[in-house]
Structure 1
Amino acid sequence: MPEPRNIKILDLFAGPGGLDVAAHFLGIPSMGIEWDRNACLTRYRAGLDTIHGNVSKVRTEQFAKIPEDYNVLAGGPPCQSFSVAGKGRGRDQIEDLKKLMKLMEDLVDDHESPEIDKELEKLDPRAALVLEPLRWLLKRNAVHGKPYDAIILEQVPTALPVWHEYKEILRSLPGDLAYECPEPHVLRTERYGVPQTRQRAIFVARRKNADFAGELKLPKGTFRSFDPRAPYERAAGAPIQEQTLFDPHTDSGPLPWRSMHKALKAAGPFLTYPEGTSALPENFVVVSNYGSGGDPKKRGRRSSHFPAFTVTGKVSRNVVLVDDEDHRRFTIPEAGAFQTFPGNYPWAGNDQSQQVGNAVPPVFAMHVLSAALGIPLPEDPVGAALKWEPASEERAAELRERGCGNARACTEHCPSQEEVNEK
């Protein structure tokens, strides 16, 4: 099997670093491509190798910047076009999905066809980005004589039909291009130690002739699922300060889910707070920023001893109640902890709530990478990801010099603000 040092990951939609953080804790080098300058600022401060660019333009204009030894391709294309919470055409118009799938088949015959680009321009540009991993795979094969050894993709659940199309296409590629692909599935992140109910559609594939350890399969959850409609009780005899909760119908088997309280307690030694703000007490209630049951005025509530609601870019708007009174909002590091980022992760730039909400949870990503690449997990993945070592100012400047072309500012190679706004 390839040792972690012989595996290098290229992350096409890298965000502030969720997958890169996971790769770091597994001992795997990674490089990310990210168009948002705020996320790039976070990445530079975190010490993550980054190209500040548009994924499509880097493929067509700067492909030579990607070293050949980056042999694993990963990506979570922007999900607004598929998200249930958004208004994207990819969700609402099934015809767009059908067109995307047909274009995927056409790409295999000619991955740089200008006619395909013309057709993609007619669709939501964010939806078209789900084709980029396939275009990168085919480009690498054309340039270096072989595709990536493994592919790892994640998206919101409504993108699952696209991942099924990826499976059919990659399985049917000829000769050394062919991949083995288990059935894509929607996984619940709380089953992997993430203190948050979040669902992601996951696709993994390995090139058939690549040398990896073990059977390729999606990761098996080690925690229980959380159902907000189920009757939960305190464990018998548990002291009030512990309040270990359990589902009375499944009181054996996997570990209970991780709660918001447990996540903040574990991250506590590494969290910092603005002046005038202190750590939350053990018992609090979160009021969702979104309506439930079709009523926008009916906000869901969760106890601190449950997992958080799905962390979105609006997480800073969630009301936190203590003793039924409005106490405060979550800080960015607290929201990051619910995503399983280290407590001292160096968030930077603007729109930090959006950065947090857009990211893949690192601990969840560790499970996916481990299963896809045949690499053992740390004995305690949650505990391994509590603390981060930020980059020095010199290292951050060096990374920005490489990623933007200038140690202090963006250059003409970086996406313009107009490009960013269009996305």
Structure 2
Amino acid sequence: MSSPGKQVHPLDGIRILDLFAGPGGLDVAAHFLGFKSIGIEWDRNACETRYAAGLPTIHADVSVMRETRFDEIPKSVDVLAGGPPCQSFSVAGKGAGRRALDTVKEFIHRLVDGEDEAKIDEDLHALGDPRTALVLEPLRWLLKAIETEGRDPYKVIVLEQVPAALPLWEVYAKLLRGGEGRLRGVKYEAECWELKTEQFGVPQTRTRAVLVARRPGEGAVEPLEATHLPFDLHRGKRNAAQADMLPTGSAIPTKQRWLSMADALDAASRPKGSPVDVSRLRRGGGMNFFVVSNYGSGGDPKNRGRRRSSEPAFTVTGKISRNKVYASDTEYEAGRSDRFTIPESGVLQTFPHNFPWSGNDQAQQVGNAVPPRLGMHVLSRALRGDAPTNDELAAATTWHDVPRSTTAELRVIGCGDQSKCPPKSHKVTRSRRTSAP
């Protein structure tokens, strides 16, 4: 604990390095668990949100930081976390990464075996989608730490991606357990799983591939215990008894029902001054709205999926603002639709109701983020070996006030004179001059 009157520097005591940090899903999770983190993020808009939220940040390209600015990472960091961009692996994307899975697996082995990295980079570039190569960055950061004098291997590694990347995490886990080649005998206990967000209290259906690795002595990696029931995606079975949705062998329901959009948004609207206002979605004293997805289903772009307010949301993506929200069937028939606001979209991701979204492209920021509540479960298991407490989860619904001076200080740390920031990221497009009034 700091002595009275002693000024605490924003980078003091940082343990977690969050690669591809986005607006701060994992960092928010770490905060509510009592851990300090720093994120590397190349998108200027996401950085503005992070500065406003008081989250230490370096505005930079992850690869550039590793290659030329590695010494700027605090030596107190002993946890490596990250969710590489998923577009090339995502079902919603063009799938270049999925088609190249076997090739990427080979690259992982080539890196560990010590092949020339210039040749590896050349071959990665030939894959066509540069984002596919970013899934190798966590491994490269680990190797950099092992091979840099004065640095220790990370004690814990936490990675997440879309489900299509699970085979890559399995390769990661196998190599981390073996400790061969450039790993120089550094071994980890490592496991990976597919996790459904609604089973951890997130009011949306979203599946993520997660890897957790810990150095021997930090304890074996145990599977996460779901706190909520899975959501049945098949409409004809949604009225089935909860017991039918329990894992085989379960005698009695021991988990809570998944959290609905209505419950999450209603709770977020109650704190005084909350930017979440759902009065427009209430009819007859309750919320009975429904959402029509921006995406088609069953291969038919015209067959838009629907979710009722009493159900979890669709996966929150950067296009969530395109989903249409109808307060009633009457409004649907009349063509009067609404949209989720940014604070509401953030709540569906389990960000605090008053999280200070800033900059442009805020819907994209929300969609790119790791749901903080899922992050709390993963980080708590990885760092403490247990689940977050009920008090920690309850506290995670409200963000603390951040002084403007803190935001300004973090912007200086993150952007400095802007010379080290990603090229053109601070370029301002000036509007044409208009005639004087």
**Length-normalised TM-score, structure 1:** 0.88
Please, which moves more after superposition, 165-174 or 196-205? 165-174
- Could you say if the C-alpha distance between residues 304 and 368 of structure 1 is closer, same or farther in structure 2, counting changes exceeding 3 Å? same
| Residue 142, structure 1, aligned to residue 150, structure 2 | no
**In 2, Cα distance between the equivalents of 1:289 and 1:255?**
29
| Residue 32, structure 1, aligned to residue 35, structure 2 | no
**In 2, Cα distance between the equivalents of 1:284 and 1:353?**
21
- Equivalent residue, structure 2, for 1:191: 199
Counting aligned pairs with the same residue, the percent is 54
| Residue 131, structure 1, aligned to residue 132, structure 2 | no
After TM superposition, the structure 1 = structure 2 runs for residues 87-126 of structure 1, keeping only pairs within 5 Å, are: 87-91=94-98, 93=99, 96-110=100-114, 113-123=117-127, 124-126=129-131
RMSD, matched Cα: 2.2
- Give the conservation status (yes or no) of the 8 Å contact 1:246–1:256: no
What is the DSSP-based 3-state SS (H/G/I as helix, E as strand, rest coil) of the residue aligned with 1:106?
Answer: helix
What is the DSSP-based 3-state SS (H/G/I as helix, E as strand, rest coil) of the residue aligned with 2:224?
Answer: coil
Q: Which amino acid aligns with 2:390?
A: E
**In 1, Cα distance between the equivalents of 2:407 and 2:233?**
42
Post-superposition shift, 1:232?
3.1
**In 1, Cα distance between the equivalents of 2:67 and 2:416?**
18
| Residue 73, structure 1, aligned to residue 85, structure 2 | no
Q: Which amino acid aligns with 2:27?
A: D
Structure 2 residue runs of 5 or longer lacking an equivalent are 1-11, 246-251, 428-437
What is the DSSP-based 3-state SS (H/G/I as helix, E as strand, rest coil) of the residue aligned with 2:312?
Answer: coil
Aligned partner (choices 362, 376, 380) of residue 366 of structure 1:
376
What is the DSSP-based 3-state SS (H/G/I as helix, E as strand, rest coil) of the residue aligned with 1:320?
Answer: strand
Post-superposition shift, 1:253?
2.5
**In 2, Cα distance between the equivalents of 1:34 and 1:196?**
25
Aligned partner (choices 264, 272, 277) of residue 275 of structure 2:
272
**In 1, Cα distance between the equivalents of 2:94 and 2:175?**
28
Q: Which amino acid aligns with 1:368?
A: V
Deviations 1:159-184 (Å, cap 9, x if unpaired)? 111101101111111465111112x2
Please, which moves more after superposition, 33-42 or 277-286? 277-286
Please, which moves more after superposition, 172-181 or 219-228? 172-181
Q: Which amino acid aligns with 2:262?
A: H
Deviations 1:244-280 (Å, cap 9, x if unpaired)? x964634723110000011011111343169xx8553
- Equivalent residue, structure 1, for 2:326: 321
Post-superposition shift, 1:380?
4.5
**In 2, Cα distance between the equivalents of 1:223 and 1:273?**
24
Aligned partner (choices 164, 167, 170) of residue 176 of structure 2:
170
Structure 1 residue runs of 5 or longer lacking an equivalent are 234-244
Post-superposition shift, 1:417?
4.0
Please, which moves more after superposition, 14-23 or 113-122? 113-122
| Residue 223, structure 1, aligned to residue 228, structure 2 | yes
**In 1, Cα distance between the equivalents of 2:393 and 2:155?**
28
- Could you say if the C-alpha distance between residues 83 and 264 of structure 1 is closer, same or farther in structure 2, counting changes exceeding 3 Å? same
**In 2, Cα distance between the equivalents of 1:113 and 1:187?**
33
**In 2, Cα distance between the equivalents of 1:264 and 1:221?**
22
Q: Which amino acid aligns with 2:237?
A: P
| Residue 180, structure 1, aligned to residue 186, structure 2 | no
- Give the conservation status (yes or no) of the 8 Å contact 2:189–2:220: no
**Length-normalised TM-score, structure 2:** 0.85
- Equivalent residue, structure 1, for 2:244: 249
Q: Which amino acid aligns with 2:156?
A: A
Q: Which amino acid aligns with 1:195?
A: P
Pairs aligned (count):
392
Post-superposition shift, 1:373?
1.4
**In 2, Cα distance between the equivalents of 1:379 and 1:418?**
40
- Could you say if the C-alpha distance between residues 273 and 187 of structure 1 is closer, same or farther in structure 2, counting changes exceeding 3 Å? closer
Please, which moves more after superposition, 155-164 or 144-153? 144-153
Post-superposition shift, 1:215?
3.5
Q: Which amino acid aligns with 2:214?
A: R
Post-superposition shift, 1:419?
11
